[in-house]
A = this chain, B = another copy of it.
Amino acid sequence: MIITLDFKSETPIYMQLRNAVVVAIGKGDLKDGEKLPTIRQLAEELGINAMTVNKAYAILKNEEFITIDRRHGATVTRPEGGRGEYREKLEQELTLVISEASLKGVGRKEFLDTCADIFAELAAGQRPIAE
């Protein structure tokens, strides 16, 4: 798993790691059922403390993006519940992002096209690549 951390960022490391895993699943770099590295392995690989990785894993587990079994480590899963709460959070988040975008000169069409492009990019990663 290729994860790059920005130690100068104001985003905490554990949150960067959590975000990177979510995007990796979204992009298909991590498939459903696939195992993630153990906490200690990933900590060593990234050069950070194990408890920082643990915090990221705990969040992902709570969000149902992964399940954690002792000895088997963490496994990618499809979240089941909590769609209603998520929709509310999503709309608030999008209202902020779209307000910013509008003011920065990114109009409706450009924004929607960008979203569509990203969806296409993510969908491409979910399919096996034709060879």
Residues in chain A within 8 A of chain B (CB atoms): 19, 22-23, 25-27, 65, 78-79, 82-83, 86-87, 90-91, 93-106, 108, 111-112, 114-116, 118-119, 122-123
CB distance from A25 to the nearest CB of B (A): 6
A60 to B34, CA, bound (A): 43
From B90, B95, B105, B111, contact of A23 by CB (8 A): B95
Contact call B79/A26, Cβ cutoff below 8 A: no
Residues of B within 8 A of A78 (CB): 103
Q: How far is the CA of A127 from the CA of B25 in the complex (A)?
A: 41
Closest to A105 in B: B83
Q: Is the interface of A mostly helix, strand, loop or mixed?
A: helix
Can you give 30 A-B contacts (C-beta < 8 A)?
Answer: A22-B96, A22-B100, A23-B99, A26-B95, A26-B98, A26-B99, A26-B100, A26-B103, A65-B103, A83-B105, A83-B106, A86-B104, A86-B106, A87-B106, A90-B101, A90-B106, A90-B114, A91-B114, A93-B97, A94-B114, A94-B115, A95-B118, A95-B122, A97-B97, A98-B122, A102-B119, A102-B122, A111-B115, A112-B116, A115-B115
- Interfacial chain B residues near A25, Cβ < 8 Å: 99, 103
Contacts beyond the supplied A25-B103, A102-B122, A108-B116: 18 A-B pairs with Cβ under 8 Å: A22-B99, A22-B100, A26-B98, A26-B99, A26-B100, A26-B103, A79-B103, A90-B97, A90-B100, A91-B118, A93-B97, A94-B118, A95-B118, A98-B115, A98-B122, A102-B119, A111-B119, A112-B112
